[in-house]
Amino acid sequence: MVWSFEEAEAYLKDTAPQGKSVYGLGRINRLIELLGRPQDGYPCVTVAGTNGKGSVLAFMESVLRAHGLKVACHIKPHLESVTERIRLDGSDSTPDEFAEALREVKQAIDAGWDREDKATYFELIFGAFLCAARSSESDMALLEAGLGGRLDAVNAVDAPMLVLTSVGLDHTELLGDSLESITKEKIAIARPGALLVCQVNPPEVIATVRAYAAEKNVRLVEATGDCELVESDKGGFAYPPWASGPLDRLALGLGGPYQPMNAGLALLALQVLASDALPALLPSGLREEATRLGLREARLPGRWERFRPDPSGPVWILDGAHNPSGLDRVLEEFGRIGAGKGTVVFGMKKDKKAAEVIPLLLRSAAVVVFVRVPEVECHAPEDLASIAAGSLESGSGFSHIQIDWTDSISEGLEIAADSTPTDGTILVTGSLYLVGSVRTALRGKKL
């Protein structure tokens, strides 16, 4: 049977509609067994956390590829095409590659599925990813955890190393309403004997990580303040804890105020991988020039990604920050570069606490346009505008801010373009689903 990409998409839609996930490991464990445990053919490293997962994974992938390794990456969510969730040797899977991998999953399910419950959208794609990594003869795979970790599909894979990024309050209705409970969910991926590389985090996160590592016999490596890249007096960035002395004059392929921290964590994780977790993959360790090249060539759409579709119009920045801790850094930087001429286009999923982040928007922009997020249950744009108007009326000092809302993304983009000076900047944020739709629009027409 040969499957077209359209048939593969239809199978996903009909079998497991997106957004209908039911958490648990029983289904994915069964699916992996039916597929012949494809992950046994290559080592895996899992990246978990609240913010920064995709960026850390992108830096690690690019540096490993610069060292000559063939890397498969499991990335979520996608922005424009589901093929983005399977990245093979630096490129999104082709429609044919994606369809073939999902065909393997369907055949396995048709031949041996014996459970009453069906595999979810995320589980079907994760199974397809594991098959694609095997078929492409990848040297290793990098896995981005979805929501949480303990009951996430990636926890069905025994990875010898887990990288934990920053942890914040997000998805509290499922993961718990404290940093301690959320951290426990995320680090449960780390098996006894595995390595856990942990980002600098709040004290309650670090205390939870240390307690778990001691109880489960997990080998813990903690990042320190000097692991973050800093501006170098020789130009670019420097990474102080390099084996032979500070590695300087580094350029980063990913933009945004948070990337020096993410790149530093990626470098620390790569050092641990080369020296301890998977030394056979990098027998000569990390090479300086390959590391420089990898950091410079890293790519990840939708994270502080800049567009200028009209050379005489404003710059557009797309960033999928979607929780208070992530939005705080993004909006602080946007407020700095916007210099009073900035516009924010914003939409947010229904499960996010809008009242916590809207004051951040009003602090950072001259114009805010609220729009509906496509394909997911979201806050109504008129409700977001009402919250913003209430903040203005409360005397918060933002009285000169223009607030608009519309159900239409295209209309929202037109309002943003018309309301922003040609030398101004427009930020699109609040949801990766929104960023994906806007990215498609910006690449398809001038505004």
Q: Enter the pTM of the model.
A: 0.93
- Please state the rounded mean pLDDT for residues 5-24: 82
**Peptide bond connecting 77 to the previous residue in cis, omega within 30 degrees of 0:** yes
Q: How many CB atoms lie within 10 A of CB 183?
A: 29
> Cα-flanking dihedrals φ and ψ of residue 196, to 5°?
-125, 115
Q: In angstroms, rounded to a whole number, what is the distance separating the alpha carbons of residues 386 and 212?
A: 44
In the prediction, which pLDDT does 447 show?
46
Give the dihedral sign, CA 257/369/439/101: positive
- Please state the rounded mean pLDDT for residues 85-89: 97
Query: What is the residue-wise DSSP string for 326-374?
Result: HHHHHHHHHHHHHTT-EEEEE--BTTS-HHHHHHHHHHH-SEEEEEPPT
Q: Taking 90 as the threshold, does the pLDDT of residue 263 lie above it? A: yes
20-24, 86-90, 417-421: range with lowest mean pLDDT: 20-24
What average pLDDT does the structure give for the chain?
90
β-sheet bridge partners, residue 87: 73, 92
Which ranges constitute the DSSP H helices of 121-194? 121-135, 172-175, 179-187
193 burial (CB, 10 Å; 0-12 / 13-18 / 19+) is exposed
Query: In this prediction, what percent of the chain has a pLDDT beyond 70?
Result: 94
In the prediction, which pLDDT does 400 show?
78
70-74, 373-377, 418-422: range with lowest mean pLDDT: 373-377
Is 417:447 a contact under the CB 8 Å cutoff?
yes
Between 88 and 172, the higher pLDDT residue: 88
25-39, 40-54, 139-153: range with lowest mean pLDDT: 139-153
Between 312 and 175, the higher pLDDT residue: 312
Look-up: residue for tokens 């959320």? 182
- Please state the rounded mean pLDDT for residues 311-339: 86
146 burial (CB, 10 Å; 0-12 / 13-18 / 19+) is buried
Is 303:57 a contact under the CB 8 Å cutoff?
no
* Domains, the chain: 5-297 (3.40.1190.10), 305-444 (3.90.190.20)
Closest CA to 297 of 139, 71, 63, 70: 63
- Please state the rounded mean pLDDT for residues 220-225: 93
Q: In angstroms, rounded to a whole number, what is the distance separating the alpha carbons of residues 123 and 100?
A: 16
pLDDT band at 1 (very low <50, low <70, confident <90, very high): low
